[in-house]
Amino acid sequence: MQLKFSHIDVLVSNLAEACSYYQRVLDAQVSKTLVWRRDGLHVRYAIVRMAQERFMLVQPITGNLKDLMDVRGPGTIYRHCYSTPDIEAAYDELMARGVQPEDENGKPLARDCLQTPSGARILWLPKQFGNFSIELLEEAELENFVEEAFDGVGVGAEDRS
């Protein structure tokens, strides 16, 4: 399976404050605020990048990530994300190894349901070690999504409340 590290996801309680901090302290670029809402999961998030490195700041509103932050607190790194040139091939390889890919809520994911609210195709490995999660995204779609998230983002601070 061809995988390339993409980013980590970090829980925050105040997205605007976290984005402002990393812009100021690391001179990082911060994307516009994005929203993910599906099947009881609702988060607001932003992509932070410095050159080729990036991570996502995720403010959970409802769902399993809100529950995780309530227990573990802000700053929790809960997911490593990798990209692959062919998400369907990755899905098939996982199934051949006896691993059923899941959705963001830990439910079995069918091969024809890899589409996300943002349009990218994605899957998650089952959590085997506590709350740690591994996410696989289709590389071309992921990179397009990231670039679109930064479209129109200037030097000035943006409303993230």
Provide φ and ψ at 26, rounded to 5°. -105, 0
Residue 93, token pair as written in the block: 């390889």
Query: What pTM, to 2 d.p., does this model score?
Result: 0.85
Provide φ and ψ at 108, rounded to 5°. -55, 135
Buried-state track 40-71, b at ≥16 Cβ within 10 A, e below 16: ebbbbbbbbbeeeebbbbbbbeebbbbebbee
- The domain ranges of the chain are 4-150
User: Position 116: which residue type?
Assistant: T
Digitized pLDDT (tens) for each residue of the chain, 161 residues in all: 999 999 999 999 999 999 999 999 999 999 999 998 888 889 999 999 998 899 999 999 999 899 999 999 999 999 999 999 999 999 999 999 999 999 888 899 999 999 876 778 999 999 888 878 899 999 999 999 999 999 988 644 444 44
Architecture of domain 4-150: Roll (3.10)
